[in-house]
């Protein structure tokens, strides 16, 4: 695990997390800026989830507010975690239908990008689609498989997660739309992902697992689902057989330069 300068905020005895006004202001800037960009770019299932969650604009939401909606729709919850957690903890949470949320928010200096997933990324980027049964089923299955996987298998599963839950696109009758939380919480990647600059590939489980990525750059390639329900179908395939196939075939050449030392 890498070190982080961020520290997750602890709840009080009543379970309420207190944030200073400056952090509420960061949330308001982020959510209002991003909502303006997502109309006509985010998939409808995500927009439906945003409507159901009814996230406040002027303050950081409490986890209990989010939990009430998720529990009523798909039986999911969010779970408070530190800034960074081990793979094992991550898979344990997903396998029990709990999505990890670090209770800190980025500083104004890192408004556009930070490597650690903060509460805006997790709540705004991912939680709306956890109201969708297809997405929720895939995420749950992913956690269950990750718990049983070897260290090497987990690396291939991580690529699948990156190319779907974090940076996935889907086709719709109106054109390509975004469902990946890493894109949905980033203004720059929202515009870039749907442009002609990156490569767009039809989604294939094995190909996604064989594709290297870097977390600190705009993605050079995005995988496009034929429809969001494809995630539900994948959840009922033998994903570990796909992992073994990907391991036998090996990784593709990276479509990006190596990270500078």
* Residue 185 token pair: 């919480």
SS3 state at 231:
helix
Which residues are the active-site residues? 121, 126, 166, 185
Residue partners of 39: CB distance under 8 A and separation at least 6: 47
DSSP of 132-181: SHHHHHHHHHHHHHHHHS-HHHHHHHHHHHIIIIIT-EEEETTEEEE--H
- The neighbouring-strand residues paired with 171 are 176
Closest by CA to 145, choosing from 12, 234, 249, is: 234
Q: Is residue 126 annotated as involved in ligand binding?
A: yes
Encode 96-106: b = buried (16+ Cβ within 10 Å), e = exposed: ebbbbbbbbbb
Q: Is residue 57 annotated as involved in ligand binding?
A: no
* Residue 10 token pair: 């602890």
Q: Is residue 166 annotated as involved in ligand binding?
A: yes
- Residue 250, by phi and psi: left (phi above 0), alpha (psi -120 to 50) or beta? left
Annotated binding site for Fe cation: 121, 126, 166
Annotated binding site: 121, 126, 166
């Amino acid at each position: 695990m890498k070190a982080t300068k961020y520290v997750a905020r602890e709840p009080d005895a009543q379970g309420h997390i207190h944030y200073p006004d400056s952090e509420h202001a960061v949330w308001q800037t982020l959510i209002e800026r991003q909502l303006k960009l997502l109309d006509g770019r985010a998939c409808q299932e995500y927009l439906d989830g945003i409507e159901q969650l009814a996230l406040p604009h002027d303050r950081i939401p409490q986890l209990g507010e989010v939990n009430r909606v998720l529990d009523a729709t798909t039986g999911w919850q969010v779970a408070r975690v530190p800034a960074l957690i081990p793979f094992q903890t991550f898979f344990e949470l997903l396998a029990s239908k709990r999505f990890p949320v670090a209770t800190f928010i980025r500083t104004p200096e890192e408004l556009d990008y930070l490597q650690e997933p903060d509460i805006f990324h997790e709540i705004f980027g991912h939680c709306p689609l956890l109201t969708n049964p297809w997405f929720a089923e895939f995420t749950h299955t992913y956690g269950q498989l990750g718990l049983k996987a070897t260290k090497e298998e987990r690396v291939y599963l991580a690529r699948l997660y990156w190319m779907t839950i974090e940076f996935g696109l889907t086709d719709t009758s109106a054109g390509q739309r975004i469902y990946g939380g890493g894109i949905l919480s980033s203004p720059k990647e929202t515009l870039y992902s749907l442009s002609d600059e990156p490569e767009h590939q039809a989604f294939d489980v094995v190909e996604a697992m064989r594709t290297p990525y870097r977390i600190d750059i705009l993605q050079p390639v995005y995988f496009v689902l034929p429809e969001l329900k494809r995630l539900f179908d994948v959840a009922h395939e033998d994903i570990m057989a796909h992992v073994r196939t990907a391991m036998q075939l090996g990784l593709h050449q990276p479509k990006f330069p190596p990270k500078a030392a």
